[in-house]
């Protein structure tokens, strides 16, 4: 048999990529049948709550009127993504009660990192379900869901079809906790910066693993300006010269920007290494920082002050967080971590996370592709160009 020349192979790869990049429906959109999400609390829809106890009220008050597994007053970014694609909100993979995974699953948990942390949740606040664990859960989900569907038809309406795994959108929003974990373990800014290459190497390994399971369309958020979040500003105090005119920590945001620069380079390399995949890198940092810097212009107020919390400059107290109760001298439990009057006008929910209103604003800015590195909007994320 004749040996195929390198030129033919390149032509074949380009042809396959062209087919993958134009896998759109008659309406001109990608028609993603499912979303599989990986990340931390920025996109957790109930994973940590299922594993370690429900997020307490008033979480969930702005949309569901009760806690729904999210450490927010309402919806998170991936909720808006699913809704825009015409899909149901994603159930957490770890939530075994009442979940339907026919159109995707969410492997994110609040407190997750890319690199595994050598601490427990109670010691550090970081989830043991790091990104590598999430990828292992996904690999099991792929094989076990198809086996279950074949041996017992009752699961057909609850699990994704086999072809969905190659047609789905894979969303990632993770990395912030790796950076804050460094600061919280007394690393210097330079030491945190030095950890970024290894963090992104491990991120790459997970993307390659998901690709090996059939994933082809990737929507990747960069990390936000965590130097504007009360839980960081309170725990790692800064001197006045290190605080910008909007009240955010310059060293922290500088690290976030460096991480994002290297993440963007990582995505570019993944495009070269995995030519049959389509990657969209989304700059949520710029959107979030602009929102905080120009809060009033966008209809918000008190941009660095938590809506739900207890006391202090930022209405944030690590001991008494959102929903916390305190026992009085006579034994009565009193809510001390209550919500503000109007969460819809606030950006920060609990000192760590954004409000639903802020999440909605961010989503509205990124959905059209203006903050995608390739200019691709969400509904065309199966294509390399808009």
- pLDDT of 360 higher than 50: yes
288-346 tens-digit pLDDT: 999 999 999 999 999 999 999 998 999 999 999 999 999 888 888 999 999 999 999 99
Question: Averaged over 250-277, what is the pLDDT?
Answer: 98
- The mean pLDDT value of the chain amounts to 93
The better pLDDT of the pair 246, 119 is held by 246
Q: How confident is the model at residue 118 (pLDDT cuts 50, 70, 90)?
A: confident
Q: Quick one: pLDDT band at residue 123, thresholds 50, 70, 90?
A: confident
Report whether pLDDT(52) > 90.
yes
pLDDT given at position 152: 76
Report the pLDDT averaged over residues 148-168. 90
> For the packed helices 189-212 and 250-273, what is the interaxial angle rounded to 10 degrees?
30
pLDDT score for 15: 43
Report how far residue 304's alpha carbon sits from residue 228's, in angstroms, rounded to the nearest whole number.
7
Residues carrying an active site annotation: 41, 350, 353
Strands 333-335 and 325-327: antiparallel
Cα 356 to the chain's mean position, in Å?
Answer: 14
Return the pLDDT at 149: 80
pLDDT in tens, 166-213: 999 999 999 999 999 999 999 999 999 999 999 999 999 999 999 999
Q: What is the pLDDT of residue 24?
A: 66
Nearest to 32 by CA among 369, 370, 378: 378
C-alpha pair distances (Å), 186 with each of 8, 181, 183, 314: 54, 9, 5, 22
Query: Among residues of the chain, what percentage have pLDDT more than 90?
Result: 85
CA-CA distance, 76 to 281, in Å (whole number)?
A: 18
Specify which residues 92 forms β-bridges with: 106
Note the pLDDT of residue 14: 46
pLDDT of residue 331: 86
Average pLDDT over residues 363-372: 98
On whether the 35-307+353-380 domain is CATH 3.40.50, my answer is: yes
Domain residue limits, the chain: 35-307+353-380
Query: CB within 8 A of 172, min separation 6: which ones?
Result: 37, 38, 39, 207, 218, 219, 220, 221
Q: Contact at 8 Å (CB) between 307 and 295? A: no
* pLDDT band at residue 25 under the 50/70/90 scheme: low
What are the pLDDT digits (tens) for 63-79?
999 999 999 999 999 99
The residue among 155 and 219 whose pLDDT is bigger is: 219
Note whether 217 and 32 are within 8 A (CB).
Answer: yes
pLDDT for 1 equals 41
- Alpha-carbon distance of 171 to 42, in angstroms, equals 12
User: Given this model, what pLDDT does residue 26 score?
Assistant: 61
What are the phi and psi torsion angles at 282 (to 5°)? -115, 125
Instruction: Copy the structure tokens of residue 242.
Output: 């290190």
Long-range CB contacts (within 8 A, 24+) of 328-336: 336/310
Both tokens assigned to 10? 């390149």
User: Where does residue 126 rank: exposed (0-12), middle (13-18), buried (19+ CB within 10 A)?
Assistant: buried
| Model confidence band, residue 27 (pLDDT cutoffs 50, 70, 90) | low
| pLDDT of 109 | 98
């Amino acid at each position: 048999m004749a040996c195929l020349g390198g030129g033919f192979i390149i032509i074949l790869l380009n042809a396959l990529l062209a087919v993958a990049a134009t896998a759109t429906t008659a309406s001109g959109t990608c028609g993603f049948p499912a979303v599989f999400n990986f990340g931390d609390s920025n996109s957790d829809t109930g994973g940590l709550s299922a594993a370690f106890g429900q997020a307490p009220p008033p979480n969930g008050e702005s949309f569901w009127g009760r806690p729904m597994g999210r450490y927010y007053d309402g919806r998170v970014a991936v909720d808006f993504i699913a809704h825009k694609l015409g899909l149901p909100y994603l159930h957490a993979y770890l939530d075994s009660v009442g979940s339907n995974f026919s159109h995707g699953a969410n492997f994110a948990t609040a407190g997750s990192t890319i690199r595994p942390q050598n601490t427990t949740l109670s010691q550090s606040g970081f989830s043991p379900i790091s990104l590598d664990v999430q990828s292992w859960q996904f690999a099991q989900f792929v094989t076990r869901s198809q086996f279950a569907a074949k041996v017992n038809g009752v699961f057909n309406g609850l699990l994704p079809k086999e072809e969905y795994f190659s047609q789905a959108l894979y969303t990632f929003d993770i990395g912030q906790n790796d950076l804050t974990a460094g600061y919280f373990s007394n690393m210097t800014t330079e030491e945190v910066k030095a950890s970024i290459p290894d963090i992104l190497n491990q991120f790459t390994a997970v993307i390659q693993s998901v690709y090996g399971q059939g994933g082809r369309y990737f929507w990747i958020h960069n990390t936000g300006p965590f130097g504007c979040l009360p839980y960081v500003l309170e725990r790692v105090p800064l001197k006045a010269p290190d605080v910008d005119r909007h009240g955010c920590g310059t060293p922290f945001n500088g690290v976030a920007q460096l991480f994002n620069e290297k993440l963007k380079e990582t995505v570019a390399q993944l495009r070269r290494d995995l030519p049959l995949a389509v990657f969209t890198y989304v700059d949520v940092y710029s959107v979030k920082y602009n929102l905080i810097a120009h809060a009033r212009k966008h209809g918000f107020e008190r941009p660095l002050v938590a809506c739900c919390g207890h006391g202090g400059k930022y209405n944030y107290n690590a001991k008494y967080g959102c929903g916390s109760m305190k026992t009085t001298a006579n034994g009565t439990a009193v809510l001390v971590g209550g919500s503000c009057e109007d969460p819809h006008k606030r950006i920060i929910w609990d000192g760590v996370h954004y409000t639903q209103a802020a999440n909605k604003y961010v989503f509205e800015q990124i959905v059209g592709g203006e903050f995608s590195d390739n200019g691709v909007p969400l509904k065309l994320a199966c294509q390399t160009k808009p």
